[in-house]
């Protein structure tokens, strides 16, 4: 089992394909999102601009997602994380901030296929209708009883939750995607 995976790449097929994917490098960055120093640091580490309210910016494999008015989630390859943390520390030395490597604290899933919106809509109190939720938006919410965040990319959803609830989250998604559970609301 890779350290980056909790469930050994568990996979379920149904209305949508649910699969665990290796967690990339994830950095939680807290600070003043309006500060030019923070914008410089985020661009240096990810190549992305500071995302606007509830948005996620992408540059190659890197992402910068808006998590809270004072918090970003930075996504980068795992091997780039130590370098990214030292870059952040150097560029934000004068600013009140916190940068933490949370890669090993998260589980990451991909949700792909026709029914992906519907599967997620069964579990989260979010309007997932086409037009209401589109690529470029990051949503922090709950998945049944656990917190999760997700965004759309490459024709599906990428979903991040706490590593400790990975099995619960996977079982939820697999259950919601089980064949025979079609609602057809977004069809």
Partner 1 sequence: MLLLTCPHCGIDADETELSPGGEAHLTRHGPGATDEDVEAYLFLRDNPRGVHLERWRHANGCGKWFVAARCTVTLEVFGTYPAQTARPPQHVLDAIEAKRPGATRKLPVMEGAR
Nearer to partner 1, 90 or 98 (CB): 98
Q: Least separation, in Å, of the C-beta of 145 and partner 1?
A: 10
18, 36, 66, 91, 125 from 166: Cα distances, Å: 12, 36, 22, 34, 19
Q: Least separation, in Å, of the C-beta of 40 and partner 1?
A: 24
- From the number of C-beta atoms within 10 Å of its C-beta (0-12, 13-18, 19+), residue 7 rates as middle
Secondary structure string (H, E, C) spanning 3-70 = CCCCCCCCEECCCCEEEEECCCEEEEEECCCCCHHHHHHHHHHHCCCCCCCCEEEEECCEEEEEEECC
Return the residues of window 39-68 that contact partner 1 according to CB under 8 A.
53-54, 67-68
Q: Is 34 in the site for partner 1 (CB under 8 A)?
A: no
Q: Is 131 in the site for partner 1 (CB under 8 A)?
A: no
Query: With CB under 8 A, what is the number of residues at the site for partner 1?
Result: 12
Q: Is 147 in the site for partner 1 (CB under 8 A)?
A: yes
Between CA 158 and CA 135 the distance in angstroms is 11
List the one residue out of 147, 133, 156, 138 whose CA is nearest residue 16.
Answer: 156
Q: Is 86 in the site for partner 1 (CB under 8 A)?
A: no
Nearer to partner 1, 43 or 140 (CB): 140
Q: Is 185 in the site for partner 1 (CB under 8 A)?
A: no
Q: Least separation, in Å, of the C-beta of 135 and partner 1?
A: 18
Q: Is 164 in the site for partner 1 (CB under 8 A)?
A: no
Among 94, 125, 155, 184, the residue binding partner 1 under the rule CB under 8 A is 125
As given in the structure block, the two tokens for residue 97 are 């901030």
Among 69, 130, 179, 184, the residue binding partner 1 under the rule CB under 8 A is 69
Dihedral of the alpha carbons of 53, 79, 101, 139, in degrees to the nearest 10:
30
Give the interface with partner 1 as residue ranges (CB under 8 A). 53-54, 67-69, 71, 125, 139-142, 147
């Amino acid at each position: 089992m890779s350290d980056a995976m909790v469930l050994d790449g568990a996979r379920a097929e149904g209305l949508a394909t649910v699969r665990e994917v290796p967690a990339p490098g994830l950095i939680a960055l807290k600070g003043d999102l309006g500060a030019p120093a923070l914008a410089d640091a985020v661009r240096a580490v990810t190549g992305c601009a500071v995302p606007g309210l509830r948005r996620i910016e992408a540059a190659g494999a890197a992402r910068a997602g808006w998590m809270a008015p004072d918090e970003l989630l930075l996504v980068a390859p795992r091997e780039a994380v130590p370098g990214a943390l030292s870059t952040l520390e150097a560029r934000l030395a004068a600013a009140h901030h916190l940068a933490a490597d949370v890669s090993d604290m998260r589980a990451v899933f991909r949700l792909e296929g026709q029914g992906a919106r519907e599967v997620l809509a069964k579990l989260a109190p979010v309007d997932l209708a086409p037009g209401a939720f589109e690529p470029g938006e990051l949503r922090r919410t709950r998945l049944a009883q656990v917190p999760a965040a997700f965004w759309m990319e490459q024709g599906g959803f990428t979903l991040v939750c706490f590593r400790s609830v990975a099995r619960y989250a996977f079982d939820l998604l697999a259950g919601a995607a089980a064949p025979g559970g079609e609602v057809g609301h977004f069809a």
